[in-house]
Structure 1
């Protein structure tokens, strides 16, 4: 549930956003021709792209290139209210603020990283930048278009200058080049994630009915049956090869409720998870 939402716009587009929300909450994002920077002021989340996922902790950020994403904010013992700041990058806006001449790293898309998402580690420079944005969210009367242009250029320069590995520069260069992936890559990357079919269809950029048809064509069985079987088979292996608690195994295999996991496991293997572990270890 969103508790507070503030936005600063430039050229009639929301560029800077501040959001306070109550976790747990899943926030989908469809970015056909934009990229986005998200900074976790408070709280934790897991950001899913079509074929990857990334944990986001407090005072960390991610940059996501154009595509579909799902940001799952987590409720923790210490944190129920989460706060995030998002900065949106639009090609037409960038061209305007750079006087129609983009920096070289936006135009040089050779040898770019295939990843559609990259983490930005916490740093003093980044925290100072975020604090400066917080000031303007609290004092919107001081905000002008020229100021927003400067703040947008500033975050891009900050991301490039603090990127020691070069991966962020490569990602920025390919911000508006969609990542290519197959349907199978999408499925196999998310088999053990606790995502609904509707959320997987959103990540793939299709309707739920189209997603189900494609799944049947590729796998020759229903998605529900396929995911359930894969998750339970993995759980059976973990029961024998690890000392993890049953609740941890259920979560790691993509089940949100232990009771549902136990019932499903019994239906497939004819016994409870604890009995399965005990009986197999005795053999």
Structure 2
């Protein structure tokens, strides 16, 4: 029998212990630091394997991705232990305000790396050694202590790669994500307007105001139109089934998809494919 114990405190700290290989899947809405204390782990982002994390290794994972994790026990010890620290927006905002702006690097571009391996250092060792008593006895850390540790973790990430300034502090004007770029890459997911605002580093009111400058239609209608456009392109250029294409672009109901497609293009999805086939 597999034994899985998970401790979650204030949505900041999660420690897990398991005796068999375990898997989990989730959408990461906050940046996170992942450390493997015992065993190993495979990290997949949006369905692709991007990193194998060995014992005593640590990785930083950028937010706004679908994450799948496979936890493998240590062959010698017979169990797996890992720790995940999340970086809540509020703590990042407080950390940013405490920085001396004269020491913030200029002309930093956002790194394209979704997963960043944290190099070994005394800072890394001391940070996660301080967590050992908590996962060993199953005790939940206090919120104040965790806040201090998250600040240490932020220092660690910034020290590893200066480009992470642009990822961690994307709520500032100079590093705020581009709305349309984000939506072009995430139109297929079930995101509310509140989610879109959060993921693009804006308040809801600011997101609505900024989006109006970019489009005359609402975010919901923009996403619907984009899904239909991509669906038509795939229907006419590939041999994949219409049901699979419907699912890939974000529709859940086939009847709804067909109605929306007909209303937008004036014909059914199957008619579009038949027309393309006859022309060829």
Q: Under TM normalisation by the shorter chain, which class is it?
A: 0.5 to 0.7
Deviations 1:35-73 (Å, cap 9, x if unpaired)?
6424695785659xxxxxx98777594344xxxx54545
Instruction: Specify which of 53, 59, 62 is matched with residue 60 of structure 2.
Output: 62
Question: Which structure has more RCO (C-alpha within 8 Å, separation ≥ 6)?
Answer: 1
TM-score (norm 2): 0.55
The residue number in structure 2 matching 1:86 is: 85
1:274 and 2:273 equivalent?
no
The residue number in structure 1 matching 2:203 is: 206
Q: Distance in 2 between matches of 1:199 and 1:277?
A: 34
The residue number in structure 2 matching 1:6 is: 8
Give 5+ residue unaligned stretches, structure 1.
8-12, 30-34, 48-53, 77-82, 95-101, 161-167
The residue number in structure 2 matching 1:119 is: 115
Q: Please say if residues 113 and 170 of structure 1, whose CA atoms lie closer than 8 Å, have aligned partners that are also in contact.
A: no
User: What is the SS of the residue equivalent to 1:170?
Assistant: coil
Q: Please say if residues 42 and 69 of structure 2, whose CA atoms lie closer than 8 Å, have aligned partners that are also in contact.
A: no
The residue number in structure 2 matching 1:224 is: 220
User: What is the SS of the residue equivalent to 2:191?
Assistant: coil
Corresponding residue pairs, total: 237
Give 5+ residue unaligned stretches, structure 2.
18-22, 71-81
Q: Please say if residues 111 and 163 of structure 2, whose CA atoms lie closer than 8 Å, have aligned partners that are also in contact.
A: yes
Q: 1:122 to 1:131 in 2, by over 3 A?
A: same
TM-score (norm 1): 0.55
Instruction: Specify which of 15, 19, 25 is matched with residue 18 of structure 1.
Output: 15
Q: Please say if residues 228 and 261 of structure 2, whose CA atoms lie closer than 8 Å, have aligned partners that are also in contact.
A: yes
Q: Distance in 1 between matches of 2:162 and 2:236?
A: 42
User: What is the SS of the residue equivalent to 1:85?
Assistant: strand
User: What is the SS of the residue equivalent to 1:277?
Assistant: helix
Q: 1:88 to 1:274 in 2, by over 3 A?
A: same
